[in-house]
């Protein structure tokens, strides 16, 4: 028995792409895409409006969840969070940019392996704490730190967070990617325990930590070479 697949609802994807390419308002783009998809799927107006309303009710608290931490972090920064972080690192004479980021990499990867992915992050950890601490460690040795080096330190801080999260969460058994892999393998006739998939993520996570930790170790030498080259 042949089943005809209706591809017209995919026009909603084209609306989203066109809207974002034209830099239209995101809310208007999403609503327009919903209406295009609904009409293409032969949904009547009351059903379409009911679907949009149900989706809104389910996600109405999402902006609050996203904005409250940002507001708290902004308030902390206003009262000197970055300055206090830099001053605290300045008291540790053995601290370097690479060593601080290696410690954060270990914390980020281990916490992500236990499913605690919200502990770190660019807006709530890297920008207000990790990057200022890494800059403070560099300023301890090179007081006149140029903007190019500062930007490189900030970029490496963000990259360290990415590496720790990406490879750490692959070890967490309830991570979405592990469930997706198990579902895909089951569809191919291979029954695999999610725990085994998570355990096989450990060697990859350890290897990623070693490689990036070595990069961070070399990053200290890169800063030293850059400052020596820029010295008068």
- In this predicted structure, what is the pLDDT of residue 207? 95
CB–CB of 111/163 below 8 Å? no
Residue 1 confidence (pLDDT) above 50: no
> In the structure, what pLDDT confidence band is assigned to residue 75 with cuts at 50, 70 and 90?
low
pLDDT tens figures, 28-42: 787 788 888 888 878
Give domain limits for the chain.
8-60, 69-230
- In this predicted structure, what is the pLDDT of residue 151? 93
Model pTM score: 0.66
* Rounded Cα distance, 194 and 152, in Å: 38
Q: CA dihedral defined by 46, 50, 53, 55, rounded to 10 degrees?
A: -140
- In this predicted structure, what is the pLDDT of residue 158? 94
Q: Helix (H, G, I), strand (E, B), or coil: what is residue 117?
A: coil
């Amino acid at each position: 028995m042949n089943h005809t697949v209706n591809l017209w609802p995919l026009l909603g994807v084209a609306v989203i792409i066109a809207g974002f390419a034209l830099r239209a308002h995101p809310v208007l783009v999403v609503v327009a895409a919903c209406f295009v998809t609904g009409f293409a799927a032969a949904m009547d107006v009351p059903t379409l409006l009911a679907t949009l309303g149900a989706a809104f009710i389910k996600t109405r608290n999402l902006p609050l969840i996203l904005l409250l931490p940002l507001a708290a972090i902004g308030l902390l920064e206003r009262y000197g969070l970055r300055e206090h972080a830099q001053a605290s690192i300045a008291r540790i004479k053995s601290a370097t940019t690479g060593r601080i980021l290696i410690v954060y990499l270990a914390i980020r990867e281990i916490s992500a392996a236990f499913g605690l992915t919200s502990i770190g992050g660019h807006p709530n950890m890297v920008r207000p704490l990790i990057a200022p601490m890494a800059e403070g460690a560099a300023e301890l040795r090179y007081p006149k730190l140029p903007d190019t080096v500062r930007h490189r330190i900030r970029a490496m801080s963000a990259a360290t967070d990415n590496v720790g999260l990406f490879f750490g969460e692959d070890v967490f058994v309830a991570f979405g990617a592990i469930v997706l892999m198990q579902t895909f393998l089951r569809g191919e006739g291979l029954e695999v325990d999610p725990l085994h998939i998570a355990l096989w993520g450990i060697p990859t996570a350890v290897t990623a930590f070693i490689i990036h930790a070595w990069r961070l170790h070399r990053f200290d030498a890169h800063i030293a070479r850059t400052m020596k080259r820029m010295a008068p």
